[in-house]
């Protein structure tokens, strides 16, 4: 009996991990690492507790958003047994819609608790960022104007997982809104958006059927592939900024990740949307992580 209970518990745990979409969590990790490195480069003292709480809050918001996406996409019919992406726990019946939404709410609550000390430290701007992050965490797929269903998901990722994630962290550490943080935020945000673009190209046929008007659906596969290529390569071009600032390692080291970017672009252009895109998604997450880490190392050195 105990063995059965333990097996069931392990199965449920694995299902929750799957629903959290761990391969995409680089989108929360990389901005904190790169932003913290920038703070050190600019000569400000790094406050580890700020970076730690910001990272936890980001993880909880992203996981909560993934849970909401899992539940609501099933409810709206976007996730069916015919989907070619990874299994979704609501659609497959592992957990009920109510259970998944409750877990999403718990994640948002944990993010709120992590954010309280940050708000006390950073004031009204951080409170506004936190509230907007929670609001759009649900509004990405939920509410009367779901961003993902209107083709605004790509812009959302650039803003919240790039500009705001990096800029907000640097503001907390330095007390200012800095040009360097916005440029770094664009670089990180562009690579984070590659993940959602690959996801949308993979799901284009199913999304058409349920009226989910992603940019891939609105403008077609060629547009989606071109967007992925631009988002993969633009962060490398923006390294000119660090070169002009005399930060030569920050400008040069990320180019070690250029073969990864080229590989992602090549695979997406030569392959029709299919389950193999799940592997491309993992490669894009690797690109995001490696580029961000190399840039952080370059800034720090």
* 300, pLDDT greater than 90: yes
Structure tokens at 103: 């877990």
pLDDT band at residue 82, thresholds of 50, 70 and 90? Answer: low
The 10s digit of each residue's pLDDT in 289-298 is 999 999 999 9
- Residue 1: predicted pLDDT: 52
Stronger pLDDT, 73 or 239, i.e. the higher one: 239
Q: Are residues 169 and 35 in contact, defined by beta-carbon separation less than 8 angstroms? A: yes
pTM of the model: 0.90
The span from the first CA to the last CA of the chain, in angstroms, equals 56
The 10s digit of each residue's pLDDT in 119-146 is 999 999 999 999 999 888 888 888 777 8
The 10s digit of each residue's pLDDT in 187-243 is 999 999 999 999 999 999 988 988 889 999 999 999 999 999 999 999 999 999 999
H helices of 140-178, in order, are 147-150, 153-158, 164-174
Spatial CB neighbours of 272, under 8 Å, sequence gap ≥ 6: none
Q: Are residues 153 and 140 in contact, defined by beta-carbon separation less than 8 angstroms? A: yes
Per the prediction, the chain carries an average pLDDT of: 90
The 10s digit of each residue's pLDDT in 35-60 is 999 999 999 999 999 999 999 999 99
Structure tokens at 296: 């952080």
- Residue 80: predicted pLDDT: 59
Determine if residue 255 is left, alpha or beta; phi over 0 gives left, psi from -120 to 50 gives alpha, anything else beta: alpha
- Residue 18: predicted pLDDT: 84
């Amino acid at each position: 009996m105990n063995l059965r209970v333990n097996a069931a518990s392990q199965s449920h745990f694995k299902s929750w991990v799957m629903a959290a979409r761990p391969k995409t969590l680089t989108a929360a990790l990389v901005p904190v690492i790169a932003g913290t490195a920038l703070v050190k480069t600019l000569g400000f003292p790094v406050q580890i507790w700020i970076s730690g709480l910001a990272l936890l809050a980001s993880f909880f918001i992203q996981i909560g958003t993934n849970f909401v996406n899992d539940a609501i996409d099933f409810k709206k019919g976007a996730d069916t047994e015919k989907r070619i992406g990874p299994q979704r726990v609501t659609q497959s019946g592992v957990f009920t819609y109510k259970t998944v939404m409750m877990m999403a709410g718990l994640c948002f609550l944990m993010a709120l608790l992590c954010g309280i000390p940050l708000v006390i430290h950073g004031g009204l701007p951080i409170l506004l960022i936190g509230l907007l992050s929670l609001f759009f965490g649900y509004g990405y797929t939920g509410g009367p104007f779901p961003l993902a269903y209107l083709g605004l998901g790509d812009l959302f990722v650039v803003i919240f997982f790039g500009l705001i994630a990096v800029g907000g962290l640097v503001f907390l550490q330095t007390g200012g809104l800095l040009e360097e943080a916005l440029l770094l935020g664009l670089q990180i945000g562009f690579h984070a958006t590659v993940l959602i673009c690959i996801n949308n190209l993979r799901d284009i046929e199913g999304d058409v059927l349920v009226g989910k008007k992603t940019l891939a659906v609105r403008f077609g596969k060629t547009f989606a592939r071109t967007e992925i290529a631009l988002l993969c390569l633009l962060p490398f071009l923006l390294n000119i900024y660090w070169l002009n600032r005399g930060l030569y390692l920050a400008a040069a080291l990320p180019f070690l990740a250029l073969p990864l970017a080229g590989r992602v672009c090549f695979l997406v252009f030569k392959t029709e949307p299919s389950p193999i895109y799940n592997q491309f998604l993992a490669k894009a997450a690797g690109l995001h992580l490696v580029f961000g880490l190399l840039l952080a190392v370059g800034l720090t050195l």
